[in-house]
Amino acid sequence: MEFVFLEKEMLDAAEDTAVMFLYEGEQNDIVPAPAFEDFKGKDGQTVVCYPQSSPKRLILSGLGKRENFHINKLRLSVANVINTCRKLEVATISFSTVKDGVNEKEAIVAITESALMADHKFVMKSEASPSKINRIILFSSSPKALEKDLFYAVVTARNCNAVRDLVNNSASTVTPTYIAKVAEDLCEQKGIKCTVYSRKELKEMGANALLAVASGSCEEPKMVVMEYTPKSFTRTVALVGKGITFDSGGLSLKPAAGMETMKCDMAGAVSVMHTLIAAAELKINVRIIGVMALTENIIGPGAYKPGDIIKTMSGKTIEILNTDAEGRVVLSDALHLAGTFSPDYTIDVATLTGACIVALGTEVSGIMGNDAELIEAIKKSGLATYERVWELPMYEEYKELTVSEFADLKNVTSNAPGSPAGAIVGAKFLEQFVKGKWAHLDIAGTDWADAEKGYKPKGATGVGVRLLTHFLYNVR
């Protein structure tokens, strides 16, 4: 899909299919009057009309009431248009920029990223019906001033889509070795330093927590460290991702229902990788250390067991009470390793707890951490990208729930159903392996969509890339 700017008025220039965004109850004299009998401009309403003259097709897309407008309504409208155009096998779409009440730069970013994300579907059917959409025309009187925004949106959306593909693909294909190879290849292309630690090296480093989770699998675990160092920078940010390429729960086995979605358990790691790549493509002036802790969590002859006590890379010990709380175990080593780079900020991204889904559902990721300013900055990026985050409290009393009688920490409070404050306890656990200012994103509810909604097709959402790239772009 290519994007081009035109300076002409849309309706004169539209080649084929033109799109007009309208608020609810507002008409204009460009659109043939009878169309307004059907089209009311309600949220998400999409009507196709065929004017006598050019353009051949005019798509009216509703933004809802003007006073309730939010930039994400534009993203959702664009997604409806894209889905309509796919069915009609349209190749070129001309979008009017919404002039009144909307910032043009924001609109260009929203249209571009939504078009790319909505049109990107993951299918492995034997008879594919690929999208015919190949050209998006945008209209502006000052296109030069918008080139940078267009590029920004293309980079973030493409990296988001790349995350989706990795997450949606089979766990038997996208193994730790596979992801490490993707990281090496991408980093080589962009001139980024990339180090991959294998089982033997992890043993020498004392990364016994990652090794413990990996011990039930014949797939090699990998710890991947990517270092993006721009020519000039003042800040170093470490991004750390949970990379469980399949989470069966291990010996504390998960039930069959829904287990197929546990190929998503590496979404944090790959969103970290593609955020770092996006930042490099955008030449963001922040040094970024990306760490991915990659392994399967499955059952094999060597599998780690409830009751095991592990000495992590940091020296702290963990008592395993449930092998299904493996994310915090692998992250204990990954966060410690990230700390050795003395970052100004550390952000981890993890499909960490079902409890976060219970607390917040699927519209918003959980955020927890030890630095109010950092959390505030990520919240702002959440609103701008609509990858929203909601903070849960990190009161010190919660720490008690992570204390073991035999080891420094236990990986779950207890196995009793409804163990309290699961999402927070997960974060309190991670906090003990962190150096400096830190935020934790629990994306267990937001990384996967059970049904298509707007620009998010069913399956992996690619959450994290747009959020964190926006944060890095604006970090001070």
Binding residues for Zn ion (CB under 5 A): 244, 247, 265, 324, 326-327
Please give the residue ranges that form the binding site for ligand BES (CB under 6 A).
247, 265, 322, 324-327, 351, 353-355, 357, 412, 422, 444
Within 8 A by CB and 6+ apart from 30, the residues are 11, 20
Residue nearer to ligand BES on the CB measure, 219 or 442: 442
Instruction: Determine the Cα–Cα distance for residues 317 and 310; give it in Å rounded to an integer.
Output: 5
> 158, 287, 328, 456: which one is catalytic?
328
Task: Determine contact, residues 86/131, Cβ cutoff 8 Å.
Answer: yes
Give yes or no for a contact between 274 and 228, defined as CB atoms under 8 angstroms apart: no
Count helices and strands in the chain by DSSP H and E runs: 14, 19
Q: For the chain, give the number of residues.
A: 476
Torsion of CA 43, 44, 48, 54, to 10 degrees: 80
Nearer to Zn ion, 196 or 264 (CB): 264
Residue 322 binds: one of Zn ion, ligand BES, none (C-beta under 5 to 8 A by kind): ligand BES
| In the complex, minimum distance from the CB of residue 411 to ligand BES, in angstroms, rounded to a whole number | 8
Q: Pick the catalytic residue: 254, 311, 435, 458?
A: 254
Shortest reach from residue 262's CB to Zn ion, in Å: 7
Cβ 450 to ligand BES shortest distance, Å: 11
Closest CA to 98 of 134, 67, 62, 133: 62
Residue 457's binding partner, choosing from ligand BES, Zn ion, none, with beta-carbon cut-off 5 to 8 A by kind? Answer: none
Nearer to Zn ion, 194 or 329 (CB): 329
Please tell me whether residue 291 adopts helix, strand or coil conformation. strand
What is the three-class DSSP state of 30? coil
Question: Residue 354 binds which entry of Zn ion, ligand BES, none, with Cβ cut-offs from 5 to 8 Å by kind?
Answer: ligand BES
**80 three-class SS:** helix
Please, what is the minimum distance in Å from the beta carbon of residue 351 to Zn ion?
6
Minimum CB distance to ligand BES smaller for 353 or for 469 = 353
Residue 353 binds: one of Zn ion, ligand BES, none (C-beta under 5 to 8 A by kind): ligand BES
C-beta of 74 vs 163, nearer to ligand BES: 163
Q: Which does 444 bind (CB under 5 to 8 A by kind): ligand BES, Zn ion, none?
A: ligand BES
> Is 166 or 374 the residue whose CB approaches ligand BES more closely?
166
CB of 267 to Zn ion, least distance (A): 10
Nearer to Zn ion, 24 or 247 (CB): 247
254 is known as an active-site residue:
yes
Straight-line distance from the first to the last Cα atom of the chain, in angstroms, rounded to the nearest whole number: 34
Nearer to ligand BES among residue 141 and residue 415 (C-beta):
415
Q: Which residue is nearest to ligand BES (CB)?
A: 354
- And the tokens for 8? 């002409």
Residue 422 partner contact from Zn ion, ligand BES, none using kind-dependent CB cut-offs of 5 to 8 Å: ligand BES
**Residue 55 touches which member of ligand BES, Zn ion, none, C-beta under 5-8 Å by kind:** none
The one of Zn ion, ligand BES, none whose footprint includes residue 355, by CB under 5 to 8 A per kind, is ligand BES
Distance CA 209, CA 330 (A): 6
Q: For residue 455, what are the contacts with CB-CB under 8 A and spacing of at least 6? A: 75, 76, 78, 79, 82, 113, 114, 117, 118
Least distance (Å) from ligand BES to the CB of residue 153?
28
Least separation, in Å, of the C-beta of 426 and ligand BES? 7
Q: Which residues of 154-187 are buried (b: 16+ CB within 10 A; e: fewer)?
A: bbbbbbbbbbbebbbeebeebbbbbbbebbbebb
Q: How far is CA 73 from the centre of its chain?
A: 19
Minimum Å gap between C-beta 423 and ligand BES is: 8
Sheet holding 135-139, edge to edge: 2-6, 135-139, 92-95, 17-22, 57-62, 46-49
Does the active-site annotation cover 158? no
Residues 6+ apart with CB under 8 A from 167: 174, 263, 264, 266, 267, 270, 447, 448, 459, 460, 462
Return the DSSP state at 403: B
Task: Report, as residue numbers or ranges, the catalytic residues.
Answer: 254, 328
